[in-house]
Every structure is written in structure tokens, then in C-alpha cells.
Amino acid sequence: MAVVEGVAAPAPKVRLRPRGVSRREQWQRRLPLLPALIYIIVVTQIPFVVTLWYSFQNYFFDIPGGAHFTGLSNYTTVFTNAAFRASLVRSVVMTASSVIVAMILGMAFALLLDRKFLGRGVVRTLIITPFLVMPAAAALVWAGPMLDPNFGLLNYLLTPFGVHHVAWLSTHALGSVIVVMIWQWTPFMTLIVLAGLQGQPADTLEAAKVDGAGALATFRELTLPHLRPYIELGILLGSIYLVNAFDAVRLMTNGGPGTATTNLPFYLYQQVNYAFDVGGAAAAGVVTVILTIIVATFALRMFARVFQFDEAAG
Amino acid sequence: MSAPALRRGPRRLRELSVRVGWGVIAWVVGIAFFLPVLWMVITAFKPESAAETWPPKFIFTPTLSEFHLVFSGMGPFLTHSVVATVGSTILVLLLAIPAAYALSVYPVKHWRDGLFFFISTKMLPIVAAIGPLYVIALHLHLLDSIWLLIVLYTAMNLPLAIWMIRSFMLEVPSELLEAARLDGAGRIREIGGVILPIISPGLVSTALICVIFAWNELFLALNLTVTNAATMPMFLISSVPQEGLYIAHLSAAATVASVPVIIVGWIAQRSLVRGLSMGAIK
């Protein structure tokens, strides 16, 4: 991939690290890293080890007697459980659709913001604000003042188009939740693509114009390839956050109606909080983690490419 | 008058109108996108009776009564949120600065593996471990404790902070570091005296990003706290009653809960993109 200004995590300067580093020196270098490393291992890895352990236990909060070993039965339940599979599929649908639409909108907004016009800074500020709104606040404000069938602003604004008091959260629940996720994450995509557009060398664009290339051709042949790492980065980071989407589901639809908006995070939340099924939730969690690791392996590879670690410098 | 000059007039006019046209489109899009936030703030100033009407009211006598109610009820929630946010952000910086140093300036042998290990922990879905996390917290007597939130929010933001601070440290001119070395500066003096003053704007934007994520976090707070450590997002949930009119009250609560981070974000706009891309985009 061509080297792109802006997106780069340059490797540390080699000359600061001569080949013959003494043992003592090695430990001196390692020392500052250890607190953070140990902290993150203890806090983020131990819960998953415990999860693995509980996934082989029968343990319900509401049944006295504590946990006891049940072998693979929790896993059998997970794999034969249609609700788990359905929530998995819904998670994929929600994440993919919200990330893709947010990226398309983000690109459009970035192209608008890349032009000079009066009050550009203000418009930019308006557009990034949804990302800053507390997700719980966004979910509740959309569910009530915006989407309510009887007094919601959206129904009012859509009246000229023949929309009459639509109960969005019961008739279009999944779509409504996805819309809020898109609304919150489009600014993120806009900022990343905008940074890409502004890092585009002006003279190449000028040259294309002199050569008589049309706006569309210039965009397809020059801008889009230049933006590719930025788009990849946006999709990757957006997916990391959106796959865990919980606030909008919990606060707008509570997973419903029925299970129409129950994604994986909400399903696991329900297993623990309503079914008190620690073992079952742990097994579902382990399966989730394994699936995540498969996806994350690809994601990390993409990450390394986008951040352009120079192998030779290591 | 020569022919080219004659042509220039209309052409300029056309360019100007195209520019204005795009500007108008951008403004319309920006306002439309901002509308839900605006509506939240407008509704917050309504009396409850004017908030649930058809058609929605745009002209009304603004009142601060819902804000008064919110302010009188949110005390403990606000305290918990501030403590969890500030506490975790300080802890993140204390851990991330030395770690970022060890991964950039005088890197450890497997610095790349280290970096990727940190980022991989962000990809593990914390939701998958929520049951066991609850049990662990129960046994450690940390359930419904603000300390638990500080510990977890620190782990949540640490990878991001390490990547970000590292990207700032890599920009410190190596001549400065070499000069400090020649002066006989040790590691601590090198970090404190040379690196930190240079990257302090970067540290501020790192801290702001951590503040945004910690302030807005709901999932862990909802699962692991009840009253003694309940945060602002939970205050919002409590502002939605089982029955009765609540839209103006909710909007006021949502406005109060969101405004601090919105202002922080507006101030940090320029560095927001760098933070969100973990230092990849300058």
C-alpha cells in the first residue's frame, strides 16, 4: 500500500536501540511497561478465565448451593439454543448495517465539510455533536421526544409525507435502534474521512484538474484510493465499539418487541440479570469470545496494515 | 474589453453560486443532524404539560422547573460519575505514560506484540464476562462500589491511552532526548523534564477522550452498581417513571448529563480525531 501522510505509526528509531542491549538494560526498559501490562492482564484476562471456569458449572444466582460441575451441558444448551443464534445474527446485522451506513453518510458529510463555505466550523461542530451525546441520553431522547407515536417530532416532520402517528419502536424496532446507532457514529466516520481528505496532496488534485479529469473521475481514481486506509480504520474501530452496542437496545426497546432487537450483549445481560444463569451466560460468553477472536485476528492484521508498522525496523 | 475578461465575470459568478449552493446544503445537513440534540434542549425548557402535545409545541413559555427537579435529584449520581471519571482518567495516565515510553522511546524487545496485546483487549467483548465479573465483584465486596468502576474504566481506556500517548512520544525530536542523555539525565528526569512538557497538549487530549468514554459508560455501571456507585447514565434511567408525564423531565436530565461531555468534545475538537483513531491520524 502506498505510504499515506497522516496515517502512520512510525516504528521507533532504530539507532536508539543498539543490537547489543544488556540484560540489565532490557529490564530497565521493561520496568515502565510492567505496571500497565500487569494491570490489564489482571483486570481484563482474569474475568475471562473465570468465565471459562463457570461455563462448565451449573450456577444460578437464585438457587442456593452454589456452583457445581456439569461438564459440557452449558455448551450443548448454547449450541441448541435458537435464541442465542438469533441474537448472534442480529448482532452481526446491527453492527454491519450501522457501520456501513454511518461510513457512507460520514463520507458524504466529510466531502461537504472539505469545501470552503461560510460557517464551516459551526457546521462541523453541529455534525460531531451526536457522537458526544451520552448514549443513554441519545437512546432515551430518541425513544421519547423524537419517536413517540403521539407527540414525537419525527412523526410531525413526516406528516407532509403521509406519515400518521407511526409507533416506530413497535413497528420498526430494529430499524429505529440502528438509526440511533448510525446517528451517533456518523460523526466519528466523518472526522476520520475528513482527516483523510485534508491530508490529500493538493498538487495531485490540481494536476488532475489541469489534465481535464472530471470531478467524479478524480474522486474515483485519486481520492478514493487515498481514503482507503482511513475508511478501513473507521470501519474497524466503529465495529469494535458497535458490536458491543447495549445502551440503545436496553433503553429504547429492551430487546423487544419479543426478541426483535435482542443482540448478543443484551442477550447475555438478560441471561445474568433475569435468568440468573451464570453458567449458561458464561458458556455463551466463551462462544462469543471465540467468535470475536476469529474476527479480531483479521481485524488486528488489518490494523497492522493500516497503522503501517515497518517490519524492517523491528 | 478583451474577450477573456468578459468571460471571467459570469464564470466567477457561477463558481460563487456553486460554492454558496454547497454551503447551503452543508448547513441544512448539519442542522438536520443536530436537530435531535436541539429538540432535547428545547423540550428541557418546557413545562411538562407542553412537552407531550400534538402537534409538538415550538412556542411556549420556557421554564427552569424541570432543571430544578433534576439538580435536586442528581447529587449522588453526579458525585459518583465525577469520581469514577476523574479517578479512572488519572489512573490511566499514571499507567499509560511509562508504558507508552517503554513502547516508543527506548522500546522493549517485543514492543509490537505489546502494543497489539493492549489493543486486542479492547476487542474482547466485556459483555461476555459480565456474569463472572459480577461474581468476582461480589466475592471481593466491590459490588456497588465506586472503586470497582474506577478499576474497570481504567482497564477500558488504558489501551487507547497507551496507543495515543505513544504516538505523541514518537514525535519528540530525538536530538532533545540525546541532549538530555548527554547531560546525564536518568529515565525519570528524561520523562519528567523533556518528554512530558513537550507532549502535554497530547496528554490533555488523551485525558479528554478517556473522560468522554468513562462519563458515558452505562453497561458496567448498570450491571455492577445499584445505589452507592450509580452514575449519571443510571440517573437518566431513573428519570423515566413507570407512568405519568416525564418527557420534559427526561429531556432536562439528558441535557444536564450530556452537556459536560459535549463541551469537552467541542473544546477538544481538533484532537478528537487523533484520539478516536488512537493516534493513527494526526
Contact A36 B162 (CB under 8 A): yes
Give residue A259's pLDDT.
Answer: 92
Rounded-to-integer distance, Cα B204 and Cα B210, Å: 10
What is the span of the domain harbouring residue A106? Answer: 88-263+294-313
Contact B29 A16 (CB under 8 A): no
Asked if residues A152 and A145 have their Cβ atoms less than 8 Å apart, the reply is yes
In Å, how far are A254, A297, B25, B226 from A47, measured between CA atoms? 26, 21, 49, 21
Q: Please check whether residue A92 touches B, CB under 8 A.
A: no
Asked if residues B258 and A137 have their Cβ atoms less than 8 Å apart, the reply is yes
CATH of the domain at A106: 1.10.3720.10
Average pLDDT over residues A295-299: 80
Q: Please check whether residue B114 touches A, CB under 8 A.
A: yes
Give residue B4's pLDDT.
Answer: 53
For A130-157, the pLDDT digits (tens) are 999 999 999 999 999 999 999 999 999 9
Give residue A6's pLDDT.
Answer: 40
For A158-186, the pLDDT digits (tens) are 999 988 889 999 999 999 999 999 999 99
Please indicate, yes or no, if residue A26 is contained in any of the structural domains.
Answer: no
Residues of chain A above pLDDT 70, percent:
91
Helix (H/G/I), strand (E/B), else coil: A143: helix
> Could you tell me which residue, A225 or A17, shows the higher pLDDT?
A225
Tally of domains in chain A: 1
Give residue A142's pLDDT.
Answer: 96
Q: Please check whether residue B278 touches A, CB under 8 A.
A: yes
Residue type, B80: H
* Whether the predicted pLDDT of A306 surpasses 80: no
In degrees and rounded to multiples of 5, residue A69 shows phi and psi of -65, 130
* Whether the predicted pLDDT of A2 surpasses 50: no
Please list every residue in chain A whose beta carbon sits closer than 8 Å to the beta carbon of residue B104: 12
List CB contacts of A249: < 8 A, sequence separation 6 or more. A177, A255, A261, A262, A263, A265, A266
Q: Residue A12's pLDDT band (boundaries 50, 70, 90)?
A: low
Lowest-pLDDT choice from A57-71, A273-287, B85-99: A57-71
Q: Please check whether residue A13 touches B, CB under 8 A.
A: yes
Contact B130 A299 (CB under 8 A): no
Task: State the CB neighbour count (10 A cutoff) for residue A189.
Answer: 31
Closest-CA residue to A225 (of A188, A200, A194): A200
Please indicate, yes or no, if residue A114 is contained in any of the structural domains.
Answer: yes
Torsion angle of C-alpha atoms B226, B227, B230, B234, degrees rounded to 10:
70
Contact A285 B127 (CB under 8 A): yes
Rounded-to-integer distance, Cα A108 and Cα A123, Å: 14
Please indicate, yes or no, if residue A52 is contained in any of the structural domains.
Answer: no
Q: In the structure grid, which three cell numbers stand for residue A261, read together?
A: 432487537
Rounded-to-integer distance, Cα A270 and Cα A250, Å: 10
Which residue's entry shows cell 497503522? A307
Give residue A308's pLDDT.
Answer: 66
Average pLDDT over residues A277-299: 86
Please list every residue in chain A whose beta carbon sits closer than 8 Å to the beta carbon of residue B281: 6-7, 192, 195-196, 199, 230, 233
Q: Residue A312's pLDDT band (boundaries 50, 70, 90)?
A: very low
**Measured between CA atoms, how close is A231 to chain B, in angstroms?**
11
Q: With a CB-CB cutoff of 8 Å, which residues 224-243 of chain A face chain B?
A: 230, 233, 237, 240, 243
* Whether the predicted pLDDT of A1 surpasses 80: no
* Whether the predicted pLDDT of A16 surpasses 70: no
CATH superfamily of B70-277: MetI-like (1.10.3720.10)
Give residue A309's pLDDT.
Answer: 55
> Could you tell me which residue, A279 or B148, shows the higher pLDDT?
B148
For A120-131, the pLDDT digits (tens) are 999 999 999 999
Residue type, A302: M
Give residue B100's pLDDT.
Answer: 95
Contact A288 B120 (CB under 8 A): no
In Å, how far are A189, A232, B160 from A128, measured between CA atoms? 10, 20, 20
Please count the residue pairs, one from chain A and one from chain B, whose beta carbons lie less than 8 angstroms apart: 344
Contact B98 A36 (CB under 8 A): yes
Give residue B108's pLDDT.
Answer: 86
**Measured between CA atoms, how close is A141 to chain B, in angstroms?**
7
Q: Residue A297's pLDDT band (boundaries 50, 70, 90)?
A: confident
Q: Please check whether residue B81 touches A, CB under 8 A.
A: no
User: Which chain A residue is nearest to residue B255, measuring alpha carbons?
Assistant: A137
> Could you tell me which residue, A72 or B258, shows the higher pLDDT?
B258
**Measured between CA atoms, how close is A221 to chain B, in angstroms?**
22
**Measured between CA atoms, how close is A38 to chain B, in angstroms?**
10
| pLDDT, averaged across chain A | 86
Give residue A135's pLDDT.
Answer: 96
Q: What is the pTM of this model?
A: 0.90
For A203-230, the pLDDT digits (tens) are 888 888 888 888 888 888 888 988 988 9
For B77-123, the pLDDT digits (tens) are 999 999 999 999 999 999 999 999 999 988 888 888 888 889 888 88
For A226-271, the pLDDT digits (tens) are 898 899 889 988 988 898 899 999 999 999 899 999 999 999 899 8
Rounded-to-integer distance, Cα A266 and Cα B121, Å: 20
Rounded-to-integer distance, Cα B237 and Cα B14, Å: 53
Q: In the structure grid, which three cell numbers stand for residue A240, read together?
A: 469494535
Domain boundaries, chain B: 3-44, 70-277
Contact A303 B55 (CB under 8 A): no
Rounded-to-integer distance, Cα A18 and Cα A250, Å: 54
Contact B26 A123 (CB under 8 A): yes
Asked if residues B101 and A252 have their Cβ atoms less than 8 Å apart, the reply is no
Stretches in chain B below the pLDDT threshold 70: 1-8
